[in-house]
Amino acid sequence: MRAVALTFHGQGPAHLAQDVLQTCSAAGARVTVFAVGSWLVTVPALGRQLLASGHELGNHTWSHQQMKELSAAQAVHEAVKGAEALRSVVGTAGWWFRPSGTRHSTSTIRAAAKAAGYQRCVSYDVDPEDFLDPGAGAVRDRTLAAVRPGSIVSLHLGHPGTVAALPEILAGLSRRGLVPVTLSQLVTPR
């Protein structure tokens, strides 16, 4: 299978996340949402719905700080409290940790992730910079221009342009024979 992982930084208005879930369901796509813990505890039913729909949840820290700027103790707090939020909402901290505010982890970030129970930090190779709100067309074009089999795509739930671009992104992936799967499915072929 020629698979890609569409990953979403999880925070923002719940109705936009619901729109993403509906779009993915209609296309048979599975995604991974890296939930910000402080957001997830405000929308616990949404977290449970994500898992029940065949998607995957990971940890994107407690409060979405710029991880590279934090002290070691602050980084541990962000990772551990994010893991605790996941456990309280869905019963597990998940497999994956993505640091906030940076594409790449540092030794301090990796140590914080390990303290929270994660063996590795997740990066990505496709970033349409949808968090800058460039519009649906730019998000679609940038994503489809860069994605390849095995890509990990970084998207954001809380941005209307991303939600509007998603149906065309999924259609473009399908035309190229690329299947959106969870991160666990991508890195552990079944």
Q: Which two three-digit tokens encode residue 28? A: 């048979």
- In our burial notation (b when 16+ CB lie closer than 10 A, e otherwise), range 136-170 reads bebbbbbbbeebeeebbbbbbbbbebbbbbbbbbb
Q: Please state, in angstroms and rounded to a whole number, the distance separating the CA atoms of residues 125 and 116.
A: 24
Please give the CATH topology (third level) of the domain spanning 3-187: TIM Barrel (3.20.20)
Q: Which two three-digit tokens encode residue 56? A: 């995957």
Is residue 105 scored above 70 in pLDDT? yes
- Per the listing, tokens 């729109």 go with 19
Model confidence at 189, in pLDDT bands (50, 70, 90)? low
Write the DSSP assignment of 118-182 as a string of letters: -S-B---SB---GGG---HHHHHHHHHHH--TT-EEEEETT-HHHHHHHHHHHHHHHHTT-EEE-
Model confidence at 13, in pLDDT bands (50, 70, 90)? very high
The domain segmentation of the chain, as residue ranges, is 3-187
DSSP E strand stretches across 103-174: 152-156
Quote the pLDDT of residue 188: 80
User: For the segment 141-159, what is each residue's pLDDT rounded down to a tens digit?
Assistant: 999 999 999 999 999 999 9
Q: Which residues, 6 or more positions from 163, have their beta carbon under 8 angstroms from its beta carbon? A: 16, 19, 20, 23, 157
Q: Which residues, 6 or more positions from 71, have their beta carbon under 8 angstroms from its beta carbon? A: none
Is residue 125 scored above 70 in pLDDT? yes
Query: What average pLDDT score do residues 173-180 get?
Result: 97
Strand partners, 183: none
**What percentage of the chain reaches a pLDDT higher than 70?**
98
